[in-house]
Amino acid sequence: MSTYKLDYLDQLESEAIHIMREVAGQFERPALLFSGGKDSITLVHLALKAFRPGKFPFPLVHIDTGHNFQEALDFRDWLAESLGEKLIVRYVEDTIREKKLKEPTGRNASRNALQTFTLLDTIEEFEFDACIGGARRDEEKARAKERVFSVRDEFGSWDPKLQRPELWNIYNGKIHKGENVRVFPISNWTELDVWNYIKRENIALPSIYFAHERELILRDGKLLATAKGVIQQEETDEIVTRRVRFRTVGDISCTAAVESDADTLEAAIAEIQATRISERGETRIDDQVSEAAMEDRKKGGYF
């Protein structure tokens, strides 16, 4: 008698699809946060498997800092249009102007934290009660202790001491008016899992994830993209041209590249297998402000 077995990618895929369908079943106005990065692209692919041939039961939403990589933005627009799904974009620049927010200045200044204000305004504007995102537990210690269904209060704040049990893949989405839930279907995946799944499913990615020649700013051992008006060059900075790729695609001002010759999926996977540093640990400057940088942002409403 034959036995039915799922390999580990099938198990992760099945769990993620189950979570997405739970969101569709439990919430009235969910949304999927989509930046054009590899994790949110993977979420869109999983949503296709969960809901096609029907339309997605949620729009795609992007909070644009105005300092995003153009490769990711172009891919974002292309994918949403090719799938025929609704894409909502809200801009941090507009929030800064309307709320008269003070934009960070100085060394390694970034709009990344200001995304929180725009995200909370967008949630209020469309009355979203659940927002699906591509955060994973292997990325950073604050994310490692967050539940799949992460309840936020009416101010968008996360309290790590008030989390709900999730036994036997049972998720409780009951919330009070004004609260919302952040949902992480690929929380149990690793960076390597994502890349292996992308390879298996033949998922397209922006070119920025693969090795290419690029002019960069060398600062404190980090390779930052040159972007006029985004990163202010200092006297100690050095302009170099290197062959690099980006392991994670966030705000230009706080995302560093890594030197690499990995110009194919297979080569990128081999490179990730050999590394001993997480993608955010190696490339995200905003997470290195303090030991609790990510957790502090989450408590303030950050995704």
Find the domain containing 238 and state its range: 205-287
| 156-176 as b/e: b if 16+ CB within 10 A | bebeeeeebeeeeeebebebe
Together in a domain, 218 and 104: no
Residue 259 covered by a domain = yes
The answer on 75 and 169 residing in a single domain is yes
Q: Do residues 180 and 228 both lie within one domain? A: no
Distance CA 244, CA 77 (A): 24
Residue 282's pLDDT is what?
66
The pLDDT value given to residue 293: 58
Same domain for 14 and 162: yes
pLDDT score at 299: 59
Six-digit token string for 141: 């210690």
3 lies in some domain? no
**Distance in angstroms (rounded) separating the CA atoms of residues 114 and 5:** 45
Q: CA end-to-end span of the chain, whole Å? A: 47
**Residue 113: predicted pLDDT:** 78
Q: Are strands 60-64 and 256-259 parallel, antiparallel or unpaired?
A: unpaired
Model pTM?
0.91
* Amino acid 2: pLDDT: 64
Residue 119 and residue 188 share a domain: yes
- Per-residue pLDDT, 301: 55
Are 149 and 97 part of one and the same domain?
yes
Distances (CA, A) of 283 to 41, 85, 278: 20, 31, 9
Q: What's the number of domains the chain is made of?
A: 2
Is position 2 within any domain?
no
Based on its alpha-carbon atoms, the radius of gyration of the chain, rounded to whole angstroms, reads 19
Domain CATH for 42: 3.40.50.620
Residue 268 lies in a domain: yes
User: Is residue 51 assigned to a domain?
Assistant: yes
Domain membership of residue 200 (yes or no) is: no
pLDDT for residue 284 = 66
Q: What is the reported pLDDT for 250?
A: 80
Are residues 34 and 149 both part of a single domain? yes
Residues 6+ apart with CB under 8 A from 94: 118
User: Are 187 and 235 in the same domain?
Assistant: no
Give CA–CA dist 207/196, Å, rounded.
17
46 and 257 Cβ atoms separated by less than 8 Å = no
State the amino acid at position 127 in one-letter form: E
Asked whether residue 223 is assigned to any structural domain, the reply reads yes
Residue ranges for the chain with pLDDT beneath 50: none
CA separation for the pair 63, 65 (Å, rounded): 6
Q: Is 164 found in the same domain as 19?
A: yes
Q: How many CB atoms lie within 10 A of CB 285?
A: 22
Same domain for 185 and 59: yes
- pLDDT computed for residue 253 by the predictor: 82
**Do 189 and 227 lie in a common domain?**
no
Shared domain for 106 and 169, answered yes or no, is yes
Residue 83 lies in a domain: yes
CB-count exposure of residue 41 (10 Å: 0-12, 13-18, 19+) = buried
